[in-house]
Structure 1
């Protein structure tokens, strides 16, 4: 029973009893009966006034509660002129103003954080207790290389994607650096925050590839310039002296031969330094519109004799439509020459190379001996080589050219007899 109903019942009982008692003196004391009836009427009037004064604040409170329940923070009340009521209204209005201000600030902060996460250069993945992805930002989509609709509710522990597998091994509060495909380098960190009393886990992926490549190039560029300057200056002077001594050694052929060998070796050393210097002096690409399929077919013709001599067949799995790129033709030709040369050397004799294209990537697949996971992680490290006398210049040059074009690159053995060099556009 509501408080107002209880009050009415209570007043009604009291006045009914008083009315009954007054009828008992109706015949004996009529004047007193009339006075008692007047008193009862006056009492009913005051009881009704008290009822209004008590119930109005309750109605006010109930109206305010319903407004708050409906999340309507614009409902405010006007003062009535009664002290107690006005005090209650003032407190309520102040509370509503505070709630509205805090709600506005909370919404603005929420929208700001949403915008900040959406435009963040760091990939962010939100996880549930079972490590299923519940939300992610556009940068995370870009890094993982999968659309959000495929990633949502995907489990890190059950996914075969190398990046997601690496993230599943992270512990809360742990930060680690991962290298993918020998090129892409990411700093990954797992953390959590408390949401409504429960921990919410998230993972941040920060790409360090561009910064690392720039630092590496700056470091080895300074060394190569210094070495090239000193070696070229010394070799030029030494060759000039050796060339002059040949005029005085006509009667001693053994010494002449030794001098010529020394000069030839100096020339080789000079060429050796030029190869390194070419990477440092690599110009920015002069981009033009070109057909990728035409470029591949031209390079296949160029390398056809080399392939035949090794009994290697060239196969094609091209996209049915032409694929147009904005790229430097000469630099991409350098990339393809290096990649095909490495593929031929890996195959040795009697194998195949497949050219496969799609609008988003180029794949050059060879049936060579393959690459171990340890070697694959270092392939694009500057001047790393698995060859006995290799300088590691080829793939370093490939990496620089593709990076300057804004293309991604990877080289890995996906299964026995299938090594894939992949370029993403």
Structure 2
């Protein structure tokens, strides 16, 4: 093992002085004056050597103390000048370095604290990944958006969370952005980027919800078109039907039978077209809900009883899984929510074949209406709540559009998806 420099110096000094003592004793022992003088000089040499050793070891001690302080990340320790130039230069350099390190550390801590506060207060959901692509941190917006605590996310990969939104982001690369739509309604813009941490790349996801903005833009767009169409069509239909009725009345009943019948058919078609336009206009003119405290469980049960006859006509089994004493109180517009339940159950009936089942069930804070009829494809699921989208040949897409508007006005969440078992479930959530 290699000896430290101080030990080498001590060994060298001891050896030299031991030799000097031996030589002085051997050569000068008979001359007492010279012997005493030589011993005094040797003592002085030892004192000087010890002082030199101390002078040399002091900077080393300073350096050692400074290194220990830096290892402990203690940047508050500073050394006082000793009055010796060589040591004071070292102390001055060390103190200057410690000041700079302390300032840099304070600056980094302040920046880190500011960044943490900024991430936590961000209106955009942020998920930060570690070097192994596992989630290491999420902000408050993400916790509220996914309605989960931090412990649910930390240490897991995106695909391990089994959340429909995050499942679609597994293949997203750094620098890419993607617009994701789930439940046919909720729309998110997701961007993945990275930062450097200890010389390595770490990724993070920013998830911005666009649902309200898109829905508002859609509503303004189709509302303007429908109002314009309704104005033009109703004005034309009114005048046209008046002419048809007047012309038909002028024709005698005994003659022009074919013409009278044709005018009758044209008039009826006008009236159907007027009803068609009225249905569209009702979506735009939907009033704000007039809410009152209502037992939603009882309302679901009554609508289920009302729709059971229609289901049985088609050979379906409609089960109402609402207990006799079960209640779910909430402030709703009874007429509007009743229309929602009717639309959803009617769609479930249309999707079923004889022998299929429909189930209505009320839970602690949500309602589920499910059926085991024809499942909804992934492509269709993303468009279900688009304005006036319909999978039926003669469908207008008004039912789900009206349902969407009513539920949004009530502040209720909703989704319509098919599972692997073949059940399609319409969930109305956040009732309380």
Scaled by the length of structure 2, the TM-score of the pair is 0.86
The secondary structure found in structure 2 opposite 1:384 is coil
Partner of 1:119: 121
Partner of 1:298: 302
After TM superposition, the structure 1 stretch with the greater mean CA deviation from structure 2, 256-265 or 193-202, is: 256-265
CA distance in 1, matches of 2:159, 2:10: 67
1:363 to 362, 368, 374: 368
Partner of 2:233: 231
Contact (CA 8 Å) 1:190, 1:202: kept in 2 or not? yes
Partner of 2:95: 93
The secondary structure found in structure 1 opposite 2:123 is coil
The secondary structure found in structure 2 opposite 1:168 is coil
CA distance in 2, matches of 1:363, 1:250: 59
Contact (CA 8 Å) 1:314, 1:354: kept in 2 or not? yes
Aligned runs of 1:13-412 on 2, under 5 Å?
13-127=15-129, 131-144=133-146, 146-157=148-159, 161-242=163-244, 245=247, 248-249=250-251, 254=257, 257-318=261-322, 322-412=327-417
The secondary structure found in structure 1 opposite 2:232 is helix
1:388-416 deviation digits (Å, cap 9, x = unpaired): 22111111111122223332222122246
After TM superposition, the structure 1 stretch with the greater mean CA deviation from structure 2, 12-21 or 68-77, is: 12-21
CA distance in 2, matches of 1:321, 1:105: 59
What is the total number of aligned residue pairs between the two structures?
Answer: 425
Give how far 1:293 is off.
0.9
Partner of 1:9: 11
The secondary structure found in structure 2 opposite 1:213 is helix
Q: Which runs of 5+ in 1 are unaligned?
A: none
Give how far 1:120 is off.
3.0
After TM superposition, the structure 1 stretch with the greater mean CA deviation from structure 2, 370-379 or 131-140, is: 131-140
After TM superposition, the structure 1 stretch with the greater mean CA deviation from structure 2, 97-106 or 300-309, is: 300-309
The secondary structure found in structure 1 opposite 2:83 is coil
The secondary structure found in structure 2 opposite 1:167 is coil
The secondary structure found in structure 1 opposite 2:392 is coil
After TM superposition, the structure 1 stretch with the greater mean CA deviation from structure 2, 230-239 or 129-138, is: 129-138
After TM superposition, the structure 1 stretch with the greater mean CA deviation from structure 2, 301-310 or 389-398, is: 301-310
Is 1:419 equivalent to 2:417 in the alignment? no
CA distance in 2, matches of 1:321, 1:39: 108
Cα pair distance change 1:283/1:96, threshold 3 Å? farther
Contact (CA 8 Å) 1:192, 1:202: kept in 2 or not? yes
1:321-358 deviation digits (Å, cap 9, x = unpaired): 63333433332222111101111222254433212232
1:352-376 deviation digits (Å, cap 9, x = unpaired): 3212232343210113223222222
Cα pair distance change 1:325/1:107, threshold 3 Å? farther
Q: Which runs of 5+ in 2 are unaligned?
A: none
CA distance in 2, matches of 1:248, 1:366: 54
Contact (CA 8 Å) 1:275, 1:393: kept in 2 or not? yes
Cα pair distance change 1:318/1:40, threshold 3 Å? farther
After TM superposition, the structure 1 stretch with the greater mean CA deviation from structure 2, 233-242 or 215-224, is: 233-242
Scaled by the length of structure 1, the TM-score of the pair is 0.88
After TM superposition, the structure 1 stretch with the greater mean CA deviation from structure 2, 122-131 or 174-183, is: 122-131
The secondary structure found in structure 1 opposite 2:396 is coil
